[in-house]
Amino acid sequence: MLTAGPAPAQDGPARNAAVAIAADLASQGGTTKLVLTLSKPVEARAFVMERPDRAVIDLPEVNFQVGSEAGRKREGVVASFRYGLFAPGRSRIVVDLAGPAVVEAIETTKTRDGATLVTIPFRRVERDAFRKASVAGDPNPSAAKAPAPGQAADTRPLVVIDAGHGGIDPGAIAATGVYEKDIVFGFAKALSERLESTGRYRIALTRDRDVFVALSERVRIAREAKADLFVSIHADSISAAPQVKGATIYTGSEKATDGESARLAERENRADAAGGSEAGEGASEVADILQELTLRETRGFSSSFAGKLMGQLSPVMEMSSKPHREAGFRVLRSPDVPSVLVELGYLSSKSDLEKLLSEEWRTKVTGSMAKAIDLFFAGRATLSRPTSAAPRKAASIAPVSP
């Protein structure tokens, strides 16, 4: 299996990473302090962002071993905070602010037992002062981007599998505390292994560990690798409607099929903000008639694959009332890579959650998705891409018996 994205294959935190064993909040006057208890000193830097108001603290990679309730309690100017791996060797804490505040000087002290306390003070300020502080944004916006995979001699179709969310962005959270990012990552790995075992495809993952990947970066990985298919895996949650259940397949469109699809796309498109990043624009705007024709061709292929997915998934899993919908998801904006987003089910539905956590269910569903991918590529050349050189034609595969 090929890997793509900002992290090499690796399980767990780096061996030399500092360990965080506590994260506590305390307020006094107009200042709220977040105090991290670490196994060793680290260098921390902070900046603030507007719309929504939040503060971002960047750290070297940290192994967070704090309580499950950390970050959920409001204290002073801090509404909540979340933490996780942001990039290789780099962790991040994103603090949702209850009002405009700036980060004052970060202090590091040693305790008698050898632990390190990192104190991050947030001081409430007026809106104008906060806006000025937020203008600079992140002085070091991203880690270096890893090159996308490529094997010139290998003409098998390349399928990019995108596990939604990750790292500091947990996605939806079930009432039991299960994170969407973990469920979809496990599913993405199982699907990649299923496809790889056939020997018919090259496979790439947009993330191969619990790490944050920006939406535009996910699109970039697929486009630069000249992927032949992009499949994004998600699992939504609607706490106000636990009766809603079933899988839905989305393809990209400027106009959403319905209001529910538009709202879901809007939520998913805020993933970069959850990770403390500015949302990128993703694929460039259509510049000429050739690109416009390519985009139409791509969307036709995307819809064709969505139809094949529905046909294969319906017998093995429950589908939603409208199993194929369209919406303006950022990860589906590639003009030259057929792309779908699969919502496997709802974490807010007890029955869906039980299935999502079932290895037997996952085996059946990944098998059916693999069949749909076989049908998509069987007996036809994949999308041609206009470039300054001769157009590229991806390989096709021979028809496969179900």
Q: Which residue from 303, 296, 188 is spatially nearest to 249, judged by alpha carbons?
A: 303
pLDDT, tens only, 268-284: 888 877 776 665 544 44
Report the predicted TM-score, pTM, of the whole model to 2 decimal places: 0.72
What the block records as the tokens of 143 is 């880690």
In DSSP terms, 25 is beta-bridged to: 34
Whether omega before 242 lies within 30 degrees of 0, making that bond cis, reads no
| pLDDT at position 273 | 76
HEC-encoded secondary structure of the chain: CCCCCCCCCCCCCCCCCEEEEEEEEEEECCEEEEEEEECCCCCCEEEEECCCCEEEEEEECEEECCCCCCCCCCECCEEEEEEEEEECCEEEEEEEECCCEEECCCEEEECCCCCEEEEEEEEECCHHHHHHHHHCCCCCCCCCCCCCCCCCCCCCCEEEEEECCECCECCCECCCCCEHHHHHHHHHHHHHHHHHHHCCCEEEECCCCCCCCCHHHHHHHHHHCCCCEEEEEEEECCCCCCCCCCEEEEEECCCCCCHHHHHHHHHHCCHHHHCCCCCCCCCCCCCCHHHHHHHHHHHHHHHHHHHHHHHHHCCCCCEEEEEEEEECCHHHCCCCCCEEEEEEEECCCHHHHHHHCCHHHHHHHHHHHHHHHHHHHECCCCCEECCCCCCEECCCECCCCC
User: What is residue 138's predicted lDDT score, i.e. its pLDDT?
Assistant: 61
125-134, 171-180, 385-394: least confident range: 385-394
Parallel, antiparallel or unpaired: strands 339-346 and 247-252:
antiparallel
Position 384 pLDDT exceeds 50: no
Contact 158, 226 (CB under 8 A): yes
138 φ/ψ angles, rounded to the nearest 5 degrees: -80, 115
* Res. 306: pLDDT tops 60: yes
Beta bridge partners of 120: 34
Work out whether the CA dihedral 95, 99, 100, 101 comes out positive or negative.
negative
**pLDDT tens readout for residues 252-262:** 998 998 898 88
Q: Which two tokens stand for residue 370?
A: 């693999």
Burial class (CB in 10 A: 0-12, 13-18, 19+), 291: middle
Closest CA to 228 of 289, 139, 159: 159
Residue 387 has pLDDT above 80, yes or no: no
Q: Give the pLDDT score at 288.
A: 58
The whole-number pLDDT of residue 254 equals 86
Residue with tokens 């460039």: 284
Given a cut of 50, whether residue 397 has pLDDT beyond it is: no
Give Cα separations from 87 to 44, 46, 156, 282, 349 (angstroms): 15, 16, 30, 19, 32
Domains, the chain: 18-136 (2.60.40.3500), 158-275+289-379 (3.40.630.40)
Question: Lowest mean pLDDT: which of 67-81, 193-207, 350-364?
Answer: 67-81
Chain segment 43-93, per-residue pLDDT in tens: 999 999 988 899 999 999 999 998 777 888 899 999 999 999 888 789 999
389 CB neighbour count, 10 Å cutoff: 6
